[in-house]
Amino acid sequence: METVSLSRSQGPRIILLWGLPTIVLAVCLYLYGTSGRYAATDNAYIRQDHVDVIAQVSANVSSVLVTENSPVVADQVILTLDDSAQKIAMAAADAKLASARAEVRALQAAYREKTGELAVAKRAAEFSDRDLKRQKELAERKLISIAALDSTDRVAEITNGSIAVLKLQMEQTVARLGGRVDLDVDSYPGVRSALAELSRAQLDLAHTVVKSPQAGFVSHLPKVGNRLDLGRPACAIIVADSLSVEANFKETDLEWVRPGQTVQIDVDTFSGHHWSGHVDSIAQATGASFSLLPAQNASGNWVKVVQRIPVRISIVTQAGDPTLRDGMSALVSIDTGGHTHFDRWLGH
């Protein structure tokens, strides 16, 4: 009787010691195995495209026509720069252009003048040659003196020599005109160079008026009197309608993440309000790959660290949604479909 009663008292104890933990373990295993459909991270931030407005000339700010964080449209004037130096440069370039044109016209006129002189010299040379021929005939018959013949020969030689000199001067004029004398004045190299300098001066003058390259919100405006240097940002434009989320997922969470999957987005600033979106793209490199000092995994003290891979997520906004700003923290959850941890264990 004591043995039977002892066996009956150990039955519930065995169930509690082995059965209950087994059931709990099975339930936990089932819950974990059927999870994994959603990939989530709180390492996510709102991003908007930035466009730096670069100063194209070095000058002092003379006026600022918009206020900080105000909306602007494309080609809206944001600020103006002191244009005194640019106006002086344009006046100098304009004067240089006039001088270049005058020089070309003078060379063309000189060429036409030499052409007329050459025609006269040729006629004079023809007359001198005929006169020399006659004088030689008279000298053979002893009708003129040797001195008269020498004088006629000298005149003929000088006249023919002037033709060669005029041709050389004409060649020099043609060379200074770039090989052509019948072109339009503005087609010659010297004039084209002066035109280019004038265009550059006009462009520099136009660059003293700084405009917004895109619609958005202006930020980091300079103050009147500040010096802007060539190539340095004058201000920045936060581009409108460029909202996205940059989420940095652990590499172990991206097995089933694909572009196009739906995403739920929660922004820390606006608790209780949800945004939807979809996966736009997955980076081809981890964040550490772009580090200035990347990890040297070949070292002897290497420790494996789970890497983060940026995922770009587009946001679907609705009328009445709160205003999102660049840099806000967010929590994102990607619906990967029917994939669970069982799929990984079973190799699906």
Q: Is 140 left (phi over 0), alpha (psi -120 to 50) or beta?
A: alpha
pLDDT score for 21: 72
pLDDT lower than 50: segments of the chain: 1-4, 6
pTM: 0.67
| pLDDT tens digit sequence for 284-302 | 988 777 776 666 666 667 7
Measured in degrees and rounded to the nearest 5, phi and psi for residue 144 equal -130, 165
pLDDT for residue 4: 47
In angstroms and rounded to an integer, the radius of gyration of the C-alpha atoms of the chain is 45
CATH number of 50-81+207-238: 2.40.50.100
The tokens describing 293, both together, are: 């000092």
CA angle at residue 90 from 232 to 52, to 5 degrees?
20
Q: Which tokens in the block code for residue 73?
A: 């449209």
Spatial CA neighbour of 311 closest among 269, 278, 336, 342: 278
Fold of 86-203: Methane Monooxygenase Hydroxylase; Chain G, domain 1 (1.20.58)
Beta-carbon neighbour count of residue 234 at 10 Å? 20
Which segments of the chain does DSSP mark as H helices, in order?
2-14, 20-33, 84-140, 146-176, 189-206, 341-346
Separation of alpha carbons 48 and 241, rounded Å: 8
The predicted pLDDT at position 34 comes to 52
Rounded to a whole number of angstroms, the distance between the first and last alpha carbons of the chain is 57
Cα separations in angstroms, 163 against 123, 282, 328, 346: 10, 81, 87, 103
Q: Where are the domains of the chain?
A: 50-81+207-238, 86-203
